Amino acid sequence: MKEIIFETKIRTYPLAELPDEFKELTRLSILATRDAYAPYSKFQVGAALLLENGVIVTGNNQENVAYPSGLCAERVALFYAGAQYPDVAVYAIAIAAQTKGERVEMITPCGACRQVLLETENRYKRPMKVLLCGRTQIYIVESATSLLPLSFNG
């Protein structure tokens, strides 16, 4: 028998101690939650991407009564960035969520979004930092690979 162990390194910061390079990104992900279209789940998610050229792209979840025709915030932002800036890698993504007007304590991408994050890393051949923006803490993962260690790959 062989045992395989996966480890994930996650740094946590109180919002006040977040590195400066991520403060605006975090703020914009939180703002993006307000415009999410989530009449069914009442769970509003926002995402903000920092591209390597300094551009920030935001997205939020867009639900549809014909589930699963809607789309998660992460994929809205990533697909927009891929369409508008096809040659520019994503440096970091911040993800935030709220329900009933209150930010959630912890948010993580769904499995489909994790796979798309990995595809984006593979496309540009570089990792992206993933910021999980909770109510009191920001969790920073160095690469989407850490969120889905046994992922599909081409």
Kind of pairing between the strands at 137-141 and 102-103? unpaired
Among residues 49, 55, 17, which one has the least CA distance to residue 137?
17
| Candidate list 7, 52, 74, 102, residue with the active-site label | 74
- 74 catalytic? Reply is yes
> Which residues, in sequence order, are CB contacts of 13 under 8 Å at separation 6+?
19, 137, 138, 140
H-helix or E-strand spanning residue 120: helix 111-124
C-alpha span between 44 and 52 (Å, rounded): 27
* Contact criterion met (CB below 8 Å) for 94 and 131: yes
Q: Are 9 and 142 in contact (CB under 8 A)?
A: yes
For the annotated catalytic residues, the residue numbers are 74
